[in-house]
Structure 1
Amino acid sequence: MPLKPLRICATPSCPSLTRSRYCNEHKTQQQEETKHYNKHSRNKTITSFYKSTEWKRTRELVLLRDNRLCQRCLREHRFTPADMVHHIVEVKQDWSKRLDLSNLESLCNACHNKVHGDRGKPVK
């Protein structure tokens, strides 16, 4: 199997070439930042909710209801497969709406990133 092509490290202003997202120096730094965020900033209640059986079942119901199509793309007459289910009112804003089907919509990754302003990894 051929090697991945070299590309510039994803850290701004780092000229190092790498076959992964970050060069070795910044990969370690990124891992430490992620570890710190997970330990001190991530909401453990919300994280465990997204791993729960009730969320997985509700998520599947929404995807089936929406025919596994991105609802925002569909409004623009484009047929794009949905990658995730989005909370219109976020879970951290209103915990009681976390499983409310009317508060959930199927979205593609691109639309989900637009909704959240490309703030990082999408929440499934």
Structure 2
Amino acid sequence: MNTIDVSSRRARAIFYSSGDWKRIRQDRLDLDNNECQWHKAEGKTLAAGMHDEHGNLVVLEVDHIKELADYPELALDIDNLRTLCKDCHNKRHKRFNYRPSKKKRKWDDEWW
């Protein structure tokens, strides 16, 4: 398998918009039944189309288990991919201090 160029932001954007990535990404989502694998490991179900504990619609992302920057040769290796919800993916990469969003739902303000 050829090594993918991920050396710059532009190169990564090209990779993530490629047909090869879109196909392998969809294959991984299908294999994981469109469920967050970290939640599944905890015995919970968090899948596409559901709402999370904060009332937000679940967004699924496909994560490279071995980092893309460190292992570009595994960029399209389906065994190096897993499905995570956006919050778990952010937690994994320590983004935004991995705080889940706390958007208030419209009808959670009742007091009586």
TM bucket by the smaller chain?
A: 0.5 to 0.7
Give % identity: 37
Tell whether 2:81 aligns with 1:104. Answer: yes
Q: Aligned runs of 1:82-93 on 2, under 5 Å?
A: 83-93=60-70
* Structure 1 position 73 matched with structure 2 position 50: no
Alignment partner, residue 24 of structure 1:
none
Per the alignment, in what secondary structure is the counterpart of residue 60 of structure 1?
Answer: helix
- How many angstroms does 1:108 deviate by? 0.4
- 1:55 is paired with a residue whose SS is helix
- Tell which has more relative contact order, 1 or 2 (C-alpha 8 A, sep 6+): 2
| CA root-mean-square deviation | 1.9
Deviation of 1:54 (Å): 0.3
- State the number of aligned residues: 80
**Distance in 2 separating the partners of 1:61 and 1:112:** 18
- What is the distance in 2 between the residues matched to 1:79 and 1:53? 29
Q: Which has the higher helix share?
A: 1
Match of 1:53 in 2: 19
Per-residue CA deviations over 1:17-51 (Å, capped at 9, x if unaligned) read xxxxxxxxxxxxxxxxxxxxxxxxx5221110000
The gaps in structure 2 that reach 5 residues or longer are 1-7, 49-59, 98-112
Which residue does 1:115 correspond to in 2?
Answer: 92
Structure 1 unaligned segments of length 5 or more: list them: 1-41
Q: Which runs of 4+ in 1 moved over 2 A?
A: none
